[in-house]
Structure 1
Amino acid sequence: MPSQATTTSLVRDVHSAHVLNEVALLKYMHETIPGCGIYSEVSLKQFGHGQSNPTYLVNATGSGGRKMFVLRKKPPGVLLPGAHAVDREYKILAALANTDVPVPKVHCLCMDPSVIGTPFYIMDHVQGRLFLNPSLPDLDPDQRKAIYSAMAQTLAAIHKVNVDAVGLGQYGRRENYCKRQVITWARQYHASTADGNPARDPKVEKLIDWLKNNVPAEDAGGNRSGIVHGDFRLDNLIFHPTEPKVLAVIDWELSTLGNQMADIAYNCLTYQLAVSKIKFPSLGYSFDSGHLPGIPSLEEYVSQYCQTTGVPWPASTWKFYVALALFRSTAIWAGVYKRMLQGNSSAQRSESVREALLHFTNIAVSVVDSSSLLPEREPQIGRSNVIGFEPSYRVQKLRQQILEFMDKYVYPNEEVLNKLALSDRRWTVHPKEEELKKVAKAAGLWNLWIPVDSAALASDVLFEDGSGTQNRDDANRLVGAGLSNLDYAHVCEVLGRSVWAPQLLNCSAPDTGNMEVLLRYGSPEQQKVWLKPLLEGEIRSGFAMTEPDVASSDATNIECLIKREGNEYVINGRKWWTSGAMDPRCRLLIVMGKTNVNAALHKQQSMILVPLQAPGVTVVRPLTVYGFDDAPHGHAEIIFENVRVPVSNLLLGEGRGFEIAQGRLGPGRLHHCMRLMGAAERGLESMTKRALTRTAFGKTLAQNGAFAAQLAELRIEVEQTRLLVLHAANQLDMHGNKVARGALAMAKVAAPRTALKVLDAAIQVHGGAGVCSDFPLAHLWATARSLRIADGPDEVHLGTVAKLELSRARARM
């Protein structure tokens, strides 16, 4: 078998058991597929690669030219229950058409067996390369590395699809996936090896028992529920003819919803087969022992997948998933062997199958007996001795790219941006700001805040079909890097070194929190009207919750009323500290108010979308933070007087304001802590540089013993606080807002305190220069001080920490 092939080079004459009625097929295509009436005849070839559903290359010709399709059908004969479900393949291919997952376009599904003998569906033929030997012996090292990277990225794209958003929420049961898989494949194996079939092996029965007794908890080892391809491997990917780019993922017969760690383990079977020195070229397994240069190790490949999807390192459960994948392969080949005996198999050399069954069984047994298959800690590619919360290799590169952007574009332009912000034209946008936003977009440094599990949904919002101007590649470039909270902590810290940087990368508050609300809770229409231009950076927004007449640290106190009248809501109230409302680009306010004052205390509040230009919305004045009005962004006091908006502007539903707030305030508010660490770092840098270059009383400030002691103490506090912030981010990734609330509360108290202490010391070292606008220190200090209130008062966060501590104490009594 060749190591690689084109899609058309794998076809052969149709197997005698799979001949179908071409006249009936053409008639059906004329009646079902638009535009096929121009074709007067079809000729068929059969793909020889694979052992499952018979697959044909359909060459349609006529006066209108020629077009190639692919037809995939159920095999003839008696089949195992639930197997070869071409209708499920069709459903998932159709659902994935407008996602980041590359799939062929499907045209029709026929469940009527009278047309060609069995159900089938038809899709476009995708011309490209198939790599049949995972060792990739014909490629150079860089090409091998790129192919494997593309494979990992493609599987990650599948696993990041929001199944509910694409209509696949009922595609399969998500719970108890592993337990059901063991039962299902045991049933399939037993059915395929019944009635004296010589393929039955007693070692498989022991393997089944081990699997049943070692099913991991559904929430263990980074398990995540979603689309499972079921047969994801290199030779089920069609690559671009010349580039390391996946054009189509094929063979979705085994796809369902479930535990996605089982999918990546199956994808990595070739690594296990290489260790076991298994070679069956006729079956597509011939991984050379000893990886060829460029092919990542198992640890590196799994690490890339984990980094892209944001799932934790799966060392503790990896053995089970590999054993399950090997058992599935055994059961599949047992079915192929049974069809071979019946004369229905589409495999070219199915005489190797029985021997393969024995090898797969032996490998599975050796896996079960092994101590471990992955190292306990995830390797940090390209760097040694990296532990704890240090950035991954991927994030290191992204962070370095942002540092270079700051050095080249942000710091050199702070003076010109500040100059306009302090002039009588301060409520206008400097052209340089919009120019730098374009640079950031072009560099892919845009919307980095978007969580990894929301990237696909954000891309769908940006993507316009039909007459739209946005193409899928452009959309993908605008949805960030698909970072976890821990990943983003490392890059967000860099942005905190300048008050201008976050908005240049579309990563500034309150827009990030508002976009997160619209991503999570907005309707499709709300996302189209408001979220899309926010993601593109065309408009800005404000969040209106705090009120001047009540203690807004307790949001149940808010008095703004949102009353329904027919098909509209009428809003009356006064808000202040609505950040962003002064910006000339601001178009939208998310307003929190009470829709039912008689409901339970935390069910009275709702959130609603209000255009800033709506009649009755009056911006009273900008507010200053220690004299800084943060133009052109600004913080506004606003009056809402009989403001009317459509009922469709309500977010999620009446009484769900607190629910939305809790979803918004976890990751979004931790962003402030991340940026504060960047502000502290810039303070330390400015402080040390000043101390080394300024002389007083005959020596530099750095030579003063008191300065040295203070500098060391500050460095210690910064490192301690950074670890606390990273711990909170990691808790968010691992366990979500509820479990992470204690770590979040501690970070929200510690981060501004540390930043303020560092910046105050830096200001002192700068003397008069430190308190003026010639340096960024005073502005950074003012921002940090306000966050001890805006990010929730310290007293509230301290109360949370104390409450959790007392709960633990009571539990021990």
Structure 2
Amino acid sequence: MVTTTSSVVVPVDPRHRLDEARLLQYLQASIPGFLPPPATLHVLQFGHGQSNPTYLLHVELNGVEKRFVLRKKPPGKLLQSAHAVEREYEVLAALGNGKTKVPVPHVYCLCTDSSVIGTPFYVMEHVEGRLFLNPSLPELKPEERRAIYWAMAETLAAIHLADVDSIGLGRYGRREDYCKRQVERWAAQYNLSTGEGKPSPDPNMLALIQWLREHVPAEDRHIGSRTGIVHGDFRLDNLVFHPTEARVIAVLDWELSTLGNQMSDIAYNCLPYVVKNNETPPSAKGYGFDEESPEGIPSLPEYLAHYCKQAAVPWPADTWTFYTALSLFRYGAICAGVYLRMLQGNASGGKRAEDTGNMALYFAATALKLIQQDSMLNASPAQSLSRSSESFVNLAACQAEDDNQRKTFGFAPSARVQELRKRILAFMETHIYPSEKELSALAFSDKKWTIHPIEEQLKKMAKSEGLWNLWIPADSAALATHLLNEDNQVSGTRGVGERLVGAGLSNLEYAHLCEILGRSVWAPQIFNCSAPDTGNMEVLLRYGNAEQQRHWLKPLLEGNIRSGFAMTEPNVASSDATNIECSIVREGNEYVINGHKWWTSGAMDPRCQLLIVMGKTNPKAALHRQQSMVLVDMNTPGVKIVRPLLVFGYDDAPHGHAEVKFENVRIPVSNLLLGEGRGFEIAQGRLGPGRLHHCMRLVGAAERAMDLMVQRAKERKAFGKTLAQQGSFSSMLAKCRLDIEQTRLLVLNAANELDLYGNKVAKGAIAMAKVAAPNTALRVLDNAIQVHGAGGVSSDFPLSHLWASARTLRIADGPDEVHLGTIAKLELQRVSKL
């Protein structure tokens, strides 16, 4: 049975009856064309919904009938700033002026005189269409379900694309700090809904509030591509669909609308993917799905990708858990408020309002479970889900006491990571180690800037075994998978995304695998896990728009092209990126780039087609808002490779490190990443996980040195004994093991903190890892070279090349002095708080 806007009306609840005579008189005087006396008015109430009471008005005169919808504030004492029908009227009037593609009902009048029917109200047209109250759409066929969800995503994108300034909503709300303000607003509303004489506060809700306060995304502070109109309650049952077409003809319930961070809107819209009917209270089904994704309904990655494409924004992978948790929290706080009104006798929604008390508890517990699952990275998904929310409350309290006593969960690899480790180790032993000499031979030949067939063969093998793009974090895997699957129906390569995206690992999980890749200078690129491609792909995943991702990210994920990162300059101290001189000047629809870069790793590779270039777009702006990042095709006129640069005598062919000049290089404005002046923001997002990868690989390089050193010491004799029997060797070997184990723990701890708390909180742990890892690798490699004697400094063993790479990272990964300064600063701050 199809539910329509007319079929969900019921007789008016006695608590919500109106003075119909007074109302009719007001409407006849206020709405042009309204049926005059002696027209009759018949009022019914919409039974669906629990917020502002909403009524269907039938006006009839001499056989002529018209329908209107009236929406009013509830009676009684209300929570502060809630149920603002005046704001609903304002946004509907602005969106309905013909300047947007947002389908909204026409509004006729706003009455703020409470003497008419008891509370303020507004009247809008009645839009007859279909309502879908169950997100699983059981009444539709699979192909119809898919079309409905695509239409919903496109409608939300249309809302988010509305130019608020041109339609008169520029002052409808503050655009920055939206999430921060939402946390505080709903925390305050929740507090007003609980306490003395009211339901007791839920410990889970209190813990959730604290977590949200501590994890507001940095992007929330700025006005950017993700800010604009926020509907605030955008879900399927607030949409009216065409009677026969999969098309939204009206978006309803704008009570919570404002301006702000629109990612909160899409996260709220995706809650049916998070809420599971089999977990909800028995009397409150229909908020989510019975299964992961009912037949025909797009998966969460597909739905998000479709929205992002329509809205022309990147998916905020690294902060998605926050937005989802915030949405669950808001829903829980709303439910708590509805439950209180039910207890006070002034809630709409009837029996369903009674269920909201249990729903408030459920949403808080679900949010904490989601956070746990994202945080307890050493446990399997099943173990993570089985943790009680009570233990998380205790953990939250423990973490809040003292930053220096933050509880970690252990660094042992999970079962799936252990399995991946075994497969990678086997691949290394069987394929990569035996190929190193041949690959190195080409790198030292006159054909050094060509690609060895063995490398391409090994890459195909790694792809076929599912050992590809292992670096992609769990929160980015969905978008990457969808991107690679976009052309499946045409190409017949269904499932390619799942094969090429890897396992979707946390930083901590990937650390165990990345360490193995560091044992060979060739391994990272064989698995498509090498710098600078990983960092560049991460930038495109986080900050690239849909077209940039299709054009550049997709072939990078497939390993069909490579890329370079152009930031460092020869004429300035580039460890302080504010010194950068490269200019990026806008001229019409183009940017013109002029600058001199060096150590642009990857630019020499014949497969390199893309450079991400950092330069200044506005030298007069605030110091950290002068820089921007742009995408430059290597074949653009004016891009000139000056020479390959040597690293302690190694040119790292065919990859290479280039000195590059940009002379009047013209690129389209659409090649700008994220926005002008946001280069530092992108850099900070890129340099956390990406640069920690170097630390992980350096531990692997040290382990490879240990293995080679022990083998050599057992085989070679001096003065009648093997080197392993010499006392000096035993002492050196033991110290190397101590160094490696301590450094590994520092690196794993940094990865764990990065997962749990993000870049900002983890910066001290990351800085310590960045200092320790290269220095440890250098000490161990130096000892291994010493044990190998003359062979150690030759190219017959990988030690010298590994040493050169490790020594470089004490500079390329940020000078030790910078990281030590960070560590010292944090230590001084810690002591000052004692």
Q: TM-score, normalised by structure 2?
A: 0.60
Q: Distance in 1 between matches of 2:659 and 2:792?
A: 30
Aligned counterpart in structure 1 of residue 782 of structure 2, from 760, 769, 774: 760
Aligned counterpart in structure 1 of residue 583 of structure 2, from 536, 553, 561: 561
Asked if 2 retains the 8 angstrom alpha-carbon contact of 1:746 and 1:797, the reply is yes
Map 1:482-493 onto structure 2 (within 5 A): 482-493=504-515
Asked if 2 retains the 8 angstrom alpha-carbon contact of 1:178 and 1:215, the reply is no
Q: Residue 543 of structure 1: SS of its match in structure 2?
A: strand
Q: Distance in 2 between matches of 1:554 and 1:406?
A: 38
Q: Residue 210 of structure 2: SS of its match in structure 1?
A: coil
Instruction: Name the residue aligned to 1:793.
Output: 815
Asked if 2 retains the 8 angstrom alpha-carbon contact of 1:591 and 1:607, the reply is yes
Identify if the C-alpha distance between structure 1 residues 467 and 166 changes in structure 2 by more than 3 Å, giving closer, same or farther: farther
Instruction: Name the residue aligned to 1:441.
Output: 463
Instruction: Name the residue aligned to 1:806.
Output: 828
Map 1:707-746 onto structure 2 (within 5 A): 707-746=729-768
Instruction: Name the residue aligned to 2:698.
Output: 676
Identify if the C-alpha distance between structure 1 residues 624 and 575 changes in structure 2 by more than 3 Å, giving closer, same or farther: same
Instruction: Name the residue aligned to 1:101.
Output: none
Asked if 2 retains the 8 angstrom alpha-carbon contact of 1:458 and 1:479, the reply is yes
Q: Distance in 2 between matches of 1:664 and 1:790?
A: 14
> Alpha-carbon deviations, 1:290-327, whole Å to 9, x = none?
xxxxxxxxxxxxxxxxxx999999xxx9xx99999999
Aligned counterpart in structure 1 of residue 803 of structure 2, from 759, 767, 781: 781
Give the root-mean-square deviation of aligned CA atoms: 6.1
Aligned counterpart in structure 2 of residue 217 of structure 1, from 198, 210, 216: 210
| 1:539 matches 2:561 | yes
Asked if 1 retains the 8 angstrom alpha-carbon contact of 2:378 and 2:410, the reply is no
Larger CA deviation: 458-467 vs 416-425: 458-467
Identify if the C-alpha distance between structure 1 residues 164 and 441 changes in structure 2 by more than 3 Å, giving closer, same or farther: farther
Instruction: Name the residue aligned to 1:518.
Output: 540
Instruction: Name the residue aligned to 2:77.
Output: none
* CA drift at 1:758: 0.5
* CA drift at 1:753: 0.2
Paired letter, 1:481: A
Q: Residue 219 of structure 1: SS of its match in structure 2?
A: helix
Instruction: Name the residue aligned to 2:131.
Output: 119
Instruction: Name the residue aligned to 1:551.
Output: 573
| 1:588 matches 2:610 | yes
Structure 1 unpaired stretches of 5+: 1-10, 20-50, 54-77, 83-107, 129-160, 191-202, 231-252, 274-278, 284-307, 346-352, 368-373
Asked if 1 retains the 8 angstrom alpha-carbon contact of 2:506 and 2:755, the reply is yes
Instruction: Name the residue aligned to 2:723.
Output: 701
Asked if 1 retains the 8 angstrom alpha-carbon contact of 2:709 and 2:784, the reply is yes
Instruction: Name the residue aligned to 1:616.
Output: 638
Asked if 2 retains the 8 angstrom alpha-carbon contact of 1:177 and 1:258, the reply is no
Q: Residue 648 of structure 2: SS of its match in structure 1?
A: coil
Asked if 2 retains the 8 angstrom alpha-carbon contact of 1:266 and 1:322, the reply is no
Paired letter, 2:591: Y
Paired letter, 1:795: E
| 1:750 matches 2:772 | yes
> Alpha-carbon deviations, 1:122-146, whole Å to 9, x = none?
9697889xxxxxxxxxxxxxxxxxx
Asked if 1 retains the 8 angstrom alpha-carbon contact of 2:753 and 2:765, the reply is yes
Asked if 2 retains the 8 angstrom alpha-carbon contact of 1:572 and 1:642, the reply is yes
* CA drift at 1:752: 0.3
Paired letter, 2:470: L
* CA drift at 1:790: 0.8
Asked if 2 retains the 8 angstrom alpha-carbon contact of 1:452 and 1:482, the reply is yes
Q: Residue 765 of structure 2: SS of its match in structure 1?
A: helix
* CA drift at 1:269: 9.4
Asked if 2 retains the 8 angstrom alpha-carbon contact of 1:506 and 1:537, the reply is yes
* CA drift at 1:175: 6.6
Asked if 2 retains the 8 angstrom alpha-carbon contact of 1:109 and 1:120, the reply is no
Instruction: Name the residue aligned to 1:653.
Output: 675
> Alpha-carbon deviations, 1:512-553, whole Å to 9, x = none?
111122222223322222222112111111111222232222
Q: Distance in 2 between matches of 1:708 and 1:555?
A: 45
Map 1:201-240 onto structure 2 (within 5 A): 206=199, 216-219=209-212
* CA drift at 1:584: 0.5
Paired letter, 2:741: E
Q: Distance in 2 between matches of 1:471 and 1:792?
A: 42
User: How many residues of Structure 1 are paired with residues of Structure 2 in the alignment?
Assistant: 629
Q: Residue 636 of structure 1: SS of its match in structure 2?
A: strand
Q: Distance in 1 between matches of 2:726 and 2:526?
A: 39
Identify if the C-alpha distance between structure 1 residues 471 and 596 changes in structure 2 by more than 3 Å, giving closer, same or farther: same
> Alpha-carbon deviations, 1:719-762, whole Å to 9, x = none?
11111111211222222222222222221111000001011111
Instruction: Name the residue aligned to 1:688.
Output: 710
Larger CA deviation: 516-525 vs 685-694: 516-525
Asked if 2 retains the 8 angstrom alpha-carbon contact of 1:174 and 1:258, the reply is no
Q: Distance in 2 between matches of 1:725 and 1:223?
A: 25
Q: Distance in 2 between matches of 1:689 and 1:721?
A: 23
Instruction: Name the residue aligned to 1:570.
Output: 592
* CA drift at 1:627: 1.4
Identify if the C-alpha distance between structure 1 residues 597 and 413 changes in structure 2 by more than 3 Å, giving closer, same or farther: same
Instruction: Name the residue aligned to 1:664.
Output: 686
Q: Distance in 2 between matches of 1:711 and 1:424?
A: 39
Asked if 2 retains the 8 angstrom alpha-carbon contact of 1:464 and 1:471, the reply is no
Q: Distance in 2 between matches of 1:207 and 1:517?
A: 45
* CA drift at 1:434: 1.4
Map 1:71-86 onto structure 2 (within 5 A): none
Asked if 2 retains the 8 angstrom alpha-carbon contact of 1:178 and 1:259, the reply is no
Paired letter, 1:759: L
Q: Distance in 2 between matches of 1:604 and 1:79?
A: 49
Asked if 2 retains the 8 angstrom alpha-carbon contact of 1:265 and 1:322, the reply is no
Instruction: Name the residue aligned to 2:28.
Output: none
Identify if the C-alpha distance between structure 1 residues 217 and 578 changes in structure 2 by more than 3 Å, giving closer, same or farther: same
Map 1:496-511 onto structure 2 (within 5 A): 496-511=518-533
Paired letter, 2:131: P
Q: Residue 595 of structure 2: SS of its match in structure 1?
A: strand
Q: Distance in 2 between matches of 1:583 and 1:377?
A: 39
| 1:395 matches 2:417 | yes
Larger CA deviation: 116-125 vs 566-575: 116-125
> Alpha-carbon deviations, 1:170-210, whole Å to 9, x = none?
9xx967889999999999x99xxxxxxxxxxxx99655677
Q: Distance in 2 between matches of 1:407 and 1:448?
A: 18
* CA drift at 1:770: 1.5
Identify if the C-alpha distance between structure 1 residues 164 and 597 changes in structure 2 by more than 3 Å, giving closer, same or farther: farther
Instruction: Name the residue aligned to 2:660.
Output: 638
Q: Residue 512 of structure 1: SS of its match in structure 2?
A: helix
Q: Residue 581 of structure 2: SS of its match in structure 1?
A: coil
Asked if 2 retains the 8 angstrom alpha-carbon contact of 1:547 and 1:576, the reply is yes
Asked if 2 retains the 8 angstrom alpha-carbon contact of 1:728 and 1:744, the reply is yes
* CA drift at 1:459: 3.0
Q: Residue 217 of structure 1: SS of its match in structure 2?
A: helix
* CA drift at 1:220: 7.5
Q: Percent identity?
A: 55
Q: Distance in 1 between matches of 2:753 and 2:658?
A: 34
Larger CA deviation: 748-757 vs 521-530: 521-530
| 1:607 matches 2:619 | no
* CA drift at 1:686: 1.1
Q: Distance in 2 between matches of 1:595 and 1:544?
A: 15
Instruction: Name the residue aligned to 1:34.
Output: none
Q: Distance in 1 between matches of 2:646 and 2:448?
A: 13
Identify if the C-alpha distance between structure 1 residues 753 and 165 changes in structure 2 by more than 3 Å, giving closer, same or farther: farther
Q: Distance in 1 between matches of 2:711 and 2:645?
A: 33
Asked if 1 retains the 8 angstrom alpha-carbon contact of 2:485 and 2:494, the reply is yes
Q: Residue 434 of structure 2: SS of its match in structure 1?
A: helix
Structure 2 unpaired stretches of 5+: 10-46, 50-70, 75-81, 83-102, 107-123, 143-152, 163-177, 221-225, 234-252, 254-263, 287-316, 366-371, 384-407
Q: Distance in 2 between matches of 1:118 and 1:265?
A: 22
* CA drift at 1:698: 2.0
Identify if the C-alpha distance between structure 1 residues 217 and 176 changes in structure 2 by more than 3 Å, giving closer, same or farther: farther
Identify if the C-alpha distance between structure 1 residues 624 and 163 changes in structure 2 by more than 3 Å, giving closer, same or farther: farther
Q: Residue 212 of structure 2: SS of its match in structure 1?
A: coil
